[in-house]
Amino acid sequence: MPPHVAVVRFPGTNCEFDVVEAVESLGGTAAVVFHDADTLVGADAVVVAGGFAHGDYLRPGAIARFSPVMAAVAEFAAEGGPVIGICNGFQVLTEAGLLPGALQKNAGLKFRCEMVSLRVETTDSALTSAADDGQIVRIPINHFEGNYTCSNETLAELRSEDRVVLRYIDNPNGSVDGIAGVCNAGRNVVGLMPHPERACHELLGSTDGRPLITSILDSGTV
């Protein structure tokens, strides 16, 4: 059985079908799960997709964390299941307390949609197991609020526990320590601002997202 990915969709999410397409192109199966669901039946991994959940009103992710599906996602994560938050999904996971820190407005106060270069800082995570340590990957970003921030204590903890998963080569948004992605202590919950699903097809300018999506599929079959 190929690994099955549940892709969470809130009202306002818009990258859910892109994630499904990327997962299927790499041999997985995927189904979109609406935010009112209270279970994640049959999921080997969960992706909280990008977009503007609940319009990003109040604050990105602030309302989404109360959607019924998030209780199921938290439970799945607590049992060690791989949960990946991409872009808005990262924001949702920090608001839900599944990942430390927060995402604030970009330095420069400008929405940025562009290809960036990232360094894979650890392969010990649900997102990077199939990548190479130190590998440079080109993957697009697409956000207004991608400027990662956290307390000094948290930053020290993330560093000492090797939980910074991805770093920008040229920091595009002012993130502390150039952080593009982090994981939880269990290394099964990962959030990142760049969109690996946008870098899985030869015609789209980069296929560097494939090792990341493949990692998600691999982590779900362990």
Partner 1 sequence: MSSEPEFSPPDETHLSLGLTDDEFVRIAETLGRHPNHLELAMYSVMWSEHCSYKSSRIHLRRFPTEAPWVLVGPGEGAGVVDVGDGIAAALRIESHNHPSAIEPYQGAATGVGGILRDIFSVGARPIAVMDPLRFGPLEDARARWVAEGVVSGISGYGNSVGVPTVGGETVFDETYADNPLVNVLCLGLMPVERLVLGRAEGVGNLAVLLGSTTGRDGIGGVSVLASAGFSDEESDAEKRPSVQVGDPFEEKRLIEACLELLDRELAIGVQDLGGAGITCATSETAAKGGAGMDVAVDVVPRRQPGMEPFEVMTSESQERMLAIVTPERLDEVLDIARRWEVRATVIGTVTGSGRLRVVDASGDVLADVPAKSLEEDAPLYDRPRSAPADLEERRSDRAASLDAPGDCGPDLLALVGDTRWVWSQYDHMLFLNTVVGPGGDAAVLRLKHPTTGEDTGRGLALTTDGNHLWCAVDPRVGSAMTVAESLLNLAVVGARPVAMVNCMNFGNPEHPEVMWQFSESVDGLSEALRIFGVPCIGGNVSLYNESRGRDIDPTPIVGLLGVVDALDRVPPPVALTEGARLFLVGRTDPVLDGSRWAARRGHRGRGTLPSLDLHAVAGVAGAVRDAVNACLVAGAHDVGSGGLALTLAEMAVNGGVGATVSLIADHGELFSESGGRVLLCVAEQHATSLRSLLESSEVAHQEIGSVGGDRLSVGGLLDVTVAELADASQSWLPDALGAGTTQG
Q: Where in the sequence numbering do the catalytic residues fall?
A: 87, 195, 197
Q: Which of residues 175-204 bind partner 1 (CB under 8 A)?
A: 195, 197-198, 200-201, 203-204
Using CB under 8 A as the binding rule, whether residue 153 contacts partner 1 is answered as no
Instruction: Give DSSP secondary structure letters for 68-83.
Output: THHHHHHHHHHTT--E
Which range of residues in 15-23, 67-75, 129-137, 186-194 is near partner 1 by CB under 8 A? Answer: 15-23
Query: What burial class does residue 201 get, using C-beta atoms within 10 Å of its C-beta: 0-12 exposed, 13-18 middle, 19+ buried?
Result: middle
Confirm if 172 and 166 have CB atoms less than 8 A apart: no
Paired with 47 in beta bridges are: 7, 84
Number of H helices, E strands in the chain: 5, 11
Task: Please state the closest distance from residue 79 (CB atom) to partner 1, in A.
Answer: 29
Q: Which of residues 32-71 bind partner 1 (CB under 8 A)?
A: 34, 36, 51-52, 54-57
Copy the structure tokens of residue 2: 């190929």
Binding site for partner 1 (CB under 8 A): 11-12, 14-15, 17-18, 21-22, 34, 36, 51-52, 54-57, 108-114, 140, 142, 144, 195, 197-198, 200-201, 203-205
